[in-house]
Structure 1
Amino acid sequence: MRNHLLTARAAALFASDLPAGSRPSAPVVDAAIAGAVRRCGGTRGCVAHLATTYGDYPEIAASRMRWARGVVEAIYGARDRELVAA
């Protein structure tokens, strides 16, 4: 379940307007993910956005997805570990 949630968050962050390579704070990431989910009509819409935008050129999307996954793992992975430790 945790991996599915991290994957959905990464897809939403990918679909957001945040520039790849940035190091946004947790509140900025939360807002960007929420905005992308609303704008795309859910997490499936975020994945559809990814496929539509980069389907013909997936190599272009790779660096943005690595960035999105790294940011999501750093922010939400840390939160998840804190919850488990508590």
Structure 2
Amino acid sequence: MNAVLADVRSEALFVSNLQSSQRPTPELIRAAVTATVNRLGESGCAELVAQEFGEHPDCAIGRMRWARSAVRSAFAA
């Protein structure tokens, strides 16, 4: 997976309604990423990520770590 695609997917998962506490399956992660990108677009996802990091940096760091890890696992080739 190239870095730009991984970033877009991670941002989409970050701003989705899916929570790490739900222990989502790879299928749910892929579905959430697709639905969020379709709803907000790539730039919309990036804007919301920036907003969250600005307003809640303490929480955003952990959520982004989870999102990046979950995307790596869910979209592994």
TM-score, normalised relative to structure 2: 0.85
Structure 1 unmatched runs, 5+: 80-86
Distance 1:10 1:21 in 2: 17
Q: Which amino acid aligns with 2:9?
A: R
Equivalence for 2:59: 60
CA RMSD of aligned residues (A): 1.6
Query: What's the % identity of the aligned pairs?
Result: 38
Which of structures 1 and 2 has the larger relative contact order (alpha carbons within 8 angstroms, sep 6+)? Answer: 2
User: Stretches of 4+ moved more than 2 A in 1?
Assistant: 20-23
Aligned to 2:20, the other structure's residue is in SS state coil
- Per-residue CA deviation, residues 49-83 of structure 1 (Å, 9 max, x unaligned), is 1112331332220000000000011121x22xxxx
AA of the residue aligned to 1:33: V
Q: CA deviation at 1:21?
A: 4.1
CA distance, structure 1, for counterparts of residue 54 and residue 20 of structure 2: 18
What count of residue pairs does the alignment treat as equivalent? 77
The equivalent of 1:28 in structure 2 is 28
Q: How does 1:1-86 map to 2 (within 5 A)?
A: 2-40=2-40, 42-76=41-75, 78-79=76-77
Aligned counterparts of 2:21 and 2:62: Cα–Cα separation in 1 = 9
Q: Which structure has the bigger radius of gyration?
A: 1
Q: Normalising to structure 1: TM-score of the pair?
A: 0.77
